[in-house]
Structure 1
Amino acid sequence: MSDIDDTEESFAEDTLIQAIENQIESEQPPAARAVFNKLTLVGYEREDALHLMALVLAHEIEAMLAADRPFDGAWYEQALRALPQLPGEEEGAE
């Protein structure tokens, strides 16, 4: 059973990474390429930068599905620009 869960999780992550790569390539949203460049410039490996960006996308998709609402592109861009701080991680929170 856990093998199936791991396979599904891996597929979901690969799908999210592919979506991020497509956003960077197409510059849609424009923040995608800018944030990727920023993260790699400050020392993140390509895979790590893509993973962080995929976490933001996953967070928005989960929120969208939970609230049965459309994708919030403005929130998504804002959250991307806040990286490497992830959504829900408040600065200075203890």
Structure 2
Amino acid sequence: MKELEQAEDDFAQQALVEAVENQIADGHPREAGLVIMDLIGQGVDRDDALVKMADVLAAQIAQSMQEDRPFDVNAYARDLLQLAAAATPE
């Protein structure tokens, strides 16, 4: 059963990473492209940056579902920018 749960988690993570990659390619939200460039510029590996961004997307999706409201792209964009700012070395 544990293997099935892990496979489901891996599948969901990959789907979220693909969604972030599509956002970067589409330029919407534009913050996705800015943040990936910023994180890579800070020395974060591209794959690691995509996973971090996918985690932000997952959190926003979960919040939307929990609050039974539409996805808030502005809150997502804000959280992406906060991710980049948090990764900035002092």
Q: What is the TM-score with the length of structure 2 in the denominator?
A: 0.92
Indicate the residue corresponding to 2:39 in structure 1: 39
Indicate the residue corresponding to 2:20 in structure 1: 20
Once residues 68 and 22 of structure 1 are traced to their aligned partners in structure 2, the CA distance between those partners, rounded to angstroms, is 25
Where in structure 2 are there 5+ consecutive unaligned residues? none
Residues 1-94 of structure 1 correspond to what in structure 2 (within 5 A)?
1-84=1-84, 85=86
Worse-superposed segment, 75-84 or 32-41 = 75-84
Once residues 52 and 27 of structure 1 are traced to their aligned partners in structure 2, the CA distance between those partners, rounded to angstroms, is 18
Alignment size in residue pairs: 86
> Structure 1 vs Structure 2: percent identity of aligned residues?
38
Deviating runs (4+, > 3 A) in structure 1? none
Q: What is the TM-score with the length of structure 1 in the denominator?
A: 0.88
More helix by share: 2
Once residues 82 and 43 of structure 2 are traced to their aligned partners in structure 1, the CA distance between those partners, rounded to angstroms, is 16
Following superposition, the deviation at residue 39 of structure 1 comes to: 0.2
Q: Match of 2:50, SS?
A: helix
Where in structure 1 are there 5+ consecutive unaligned residues? 87-94
Let me know the Cα RMSD of the aligned residues. Answer: 1.2
- 1:14-61: CA deviations, max 9, x gaps? 000000000001111000000000000000000110011000000000
Following superposition, the deviation at residue 11 of structure 1 comes to: 0.3
Following superposition, the deviation at residue 66 of structure 1 comes to: 0.7
